[in-house]
Amino acid sequence: MEDIIYNQLGYSILSWTVFLPVVGAVLLLFVRNAAAVRWTTLLFTIATFFVAFPILGNFDKTTHKMQFVEKSPWIPSWGINYFIGIDGISVLFIFLTTILSILCVLVSWKSIENKVKEFHIAILTLEAGMLGVFVALDFFLFYLFWEAMLIPMFLLIGVWGGKNRLYAAIKFFLYTLVGSVLMLVGIVVLYFAGGKTLDILALSNMHAQFPFQLQFWLFLAFFAAFAVKVPMFPVHTWLPDAHTEAPTAGSVILAGVLIKMGAYGFLRFSMPMLPDATKFFMVPIMVLSVVAIIYGALVCFAQKDFKRLIAYSSVSHMGYVTLGLFALNTQGVEGGILQMLNHGIITGAMFLMIGIIYERTHTRVIADYGGFAKIVPWYAGLFMILTFASIGLPATNGFIGEFLIMFGAFKAKKILGVFAATGIILGAGYMLWLYQRIFFQEANPDYDAGGHHHVRDLDLREVITLVPLFVFVFWIGFYPNTFLEYMHASVEHLIQGMELTAVAGNENMIAKYIMEIF
């Protein structure tokens, strides 16, 4: 029986969701007025969200099967199909992408004044690429969407970024491109090893046919692409530069969705297709994850730039995600997926708030702030909530994700769980210290009430932009099952599939093969 459920709604809801932003981008080519460009982009991002919304109500949470599937021959001679669908692992990221795209348009309403049309075309094109990655079930289609995301993101950083934008954009492009080329090699090898098919579900079901030697090298090829995208230590160095130089919308999308693609790749490809190699690399990747957690947190203490500090915190937080995923148990994997969602909400909101205050002060140097709890009290209150969510305070979304990850990590490797727990303490340290310096230390006279730079509090547009993310901070914090129940069946199927592999009885064969390599 096929692991798919063809479209339940009678129309191509996933195709509409993916390609509606492309229609908007094409339409913008004929719009000249900057205000009309902004409103048209906002209309299409909101429309994309509402077009996708019926997926939630019609999604069957009791099955691991791919749902809302659309499949048509595309290039039959190569075995390539237009094949899309979603399961419990990917469904929530469709809505994270559509929501953050709307907010990116709103936060850029006043801050982007040059090449307005081109900027909004890039936003819509990037949204389509990200949505395509989450729905693609054919490797060729997946790779097209994966590479297509690079171009608009490169332009967002390189054209609308800060003074070192070209350096950051080229570094981002080169890092991700090198990893993607190695992944392409892996896809070609899988194509021939799997009987000349690029069907992701078919390849996942025939993993028993792939010998460990093949899985070993394929895992490394995919790891090169996914580890850079996460980004994992030590291939993380492009992220702080990209975040620092990107415009606010670019940083929100980068932190909220783009870096989740690497972790999604592990879940969709490495684990189901290469289970023997995944188990073999489980401990090394968990160790790298713990290093990223501690290293990212320690480096945060040394940062002087507001935005760069949050960027390095992403390295630490994504370390928790990969730690949970490679614990290879239900608690760890579900915690990792939920924390991917949480990180997109929390860090996306933080970059929105950094962009909002930067519009007023034109500085991101932490030492330039001070006393802002008195100057912008509403802003200070909302940022305090995000600070508590980031450090995992109970009743916020950050708590439940970290709790599940730590539970899974202790269940898999207790000593690594102990070391990972130190990252929670360090995270509380750098976030509370950041909050103290910006909002409670001696006020900068330039921005104080009597200063010559008047800093106003949040306006209505900014509040509307932020409110949806704060709703999710508390919704997930108080009742996470709303979101966890979408992924239960898919995660259980993934874990059960890996438990059926025979790697546990092949330690001698694996050790012999590794000795032959070296």
* pLDDT over 70 at 508, yes or no: no
| Sign of torsion over alpha carbons 371, 376, 377, 379 | negative
Helix 165-193 crosses helix 238-245 at what angle (to 10 degrees)? 130
Given strand 4-6, what is the order of strands in its sheet?
4-6, 66-75, 80-86
User: Once rounded to an integer, what is the mean pLDDT over residues 198-210?
Assistant: 84
- Reference 90, options 493, 516, 496, 491; nearest CA is 491
Residue 387 lies in a domain: yes
CB 396 within 8 Å of CB 474: yes
* pLDDT over 80 at 501, yes or no: no
| Length of the chain measured in residues | 518
Residue 144 CB neighbour total at 10 angstroms: 14
User: Once rounded to an integer, what is the mean pLDDT over residues 406-422?
Assistant: 91
Separation of alpha carbons 390 and 446, rounded Å: 29
- CA angle, 291 then 295 then 299, to 5°: 170
pLDDT band at 449 (very low <50, low <70, confident <90, very high): low
* CB-based burial, 64-96: b 16+ in 10 Å, e otherwise: bbbbbbbbeeeeeeebbbbbbbbbbbbbbbbbb
Helices (H), 301-454: 306-325, 330-361, 372-375, 377-390, 397-412, 414-435
Separation of alpha carbons 444 and 29, rounded Å: 45
| HSE-up of residue 11 (Cα within 13 Å, Cβ side) | 7
Residue 349 lies in a domain: yes
User: Once rounded to an integer, what is the mean pLDDT over residues 27-50?
Assistant: 93
- Reference 348, options 72, 102, 135; nearest CA is 102
Widest CA span in the chain: 74
pLDDT band at 7 (very low <50, low <70, confident <90, very high): low
Residue 215 lies in a domain: no
Lowest-confidence range among 99-103, 437-441, 450-454, 483-487?
450-454
- Reference 66, options 121, 138, 154; nearest CA is 138
Residue 94 lies in a domain: no
* Amino acid (1-letter code) at residue 275: P
Partnered with residue 354 across adjacent β-strands are: none
Separation of alpha carbons 413 and 432, rounded Å: 30
Residue 473 lies in a domain: yes
Lowest-confidence range among 113-117, 122-126, 364-368, 512-516?
512-516
pLDDT, tens digit (0-9, with 9 covering 90-100), for 277-299: 999 999 999 999 999 999 999 99
pLDDT of residue 496: 85
Separation of alpha carbons 273 and 191, rounded Å: 12
Lowest-confidence range among 39-53, 145-159, 360-374?
360-374
Burial of 363 (0-12, 13-18, 19+ CB in 10 A): middle
Residue 496 CB neighbour total at 10 angstroms: 11
Partnered with residue 82 across adjacent β-strands are: 72
pLDDT of residue 10: 65
Residue with tokens 């947190």: 297
CB 128 within 8 Å of CB 136: no
Residue 310 lies in a domain: yes
pLDDT of residue 513: 53
- When comparing pLDDT for 512 and 370, which is higher? 370
Contacts of 508 (CB under 8 A, 6+ apart): none
Residue 100 lies in a domain: no
Please tell me the total count of domains within the chain.
Answer: 1
* Residue 353 domain boundaries: 281-478
DSSP labels for 490-513? HHHHHHHHHHTSSGGG-HHHHHHH
- Reference 8, options 64, 73, 57; nearest CA is 57
Phi, psi of 4 (to 5 degrees): -140, 150
pLDDT, tens digit (0-9, with 9 covering 90-100), for 255-275: 888 888 889 999 998 899 899
* pLDDT over 80 at 504, yes or no: no
* Amino acid (1-letter code) at residue 347: T
Residue 50 lies in a domain: no
